[in-house]
Amino acid sequence: NKSNPANASGTITTVQIYSFRNMINVTVGIFYCPDPTNFPNNLSTREGGNVYLSDLLAPGYHSYVGVTLNVVEGDFIGIQYTNGDIEKKMGGEQGIWWINYQDWIPCTNKTFSLQPLNAIALYGEGEIPVVGIKWNGVTITKWNGQVITKLN
């Protein structure tokens, strides 16, 4: 989903999928645009960013806990399956990248087609590493009650 990039760097530990029909050989991957300015529809998978999940033998909600997918802020989660269908939202989104009948997890700088305005029901969430600031020998991990996850 082009309209839902990763909001932080870290590790995705839970993947949620809404399947419209049974889905076979489901694999998820973390994708990024190596050259978003000149080739906005070329994608690569992130090292340590793909995992085979299973077959989804019933339509509906599926949650996978305990996965490990490395993600960098701005990356996208994607899915590959050999048969079946994922729930889709038509309209109102920035679009989805897609490629038919291919095994592209993992891939390097591969051109995908953009289907504008649509989205798929795929979501990942996880952990953001805590960044500490050393000050007078003390490591500070919170500021004004907020966990420090990025330093500028």
For the segment 41-60, the average pLDDT, to the nearest whole number, is 91
Question: Comparing C-alpha atoms, which of 123, 129, 128 is closest to residue 14?
Answer: 123
Measured between alpha carbons, how far is 39 from 110 in angstroms, rounded to an integer?
10
| Mean of all residue pLDDT scores within the chain | 87
SS3 57: coil
Mean pLDDT value of segment 32-61: 92
How much is the pLDDT for 134?
67
Helix (H, G, I), strand (E, B) or coil at 7: coil
Q: Is the pLDDT of residue 113 over 90?
A: yes
Task: Map out the domains of the chain as residue ranges.
Answer: 10-147
Q: Which residues contact 86 (CB under 8 A, 6 or more apart)?
A: 17, 18, 19, 20, 23, 79, 120, 121, 122
* pLDDT level of residue 49 (50, 70, 90 thresholds): confident
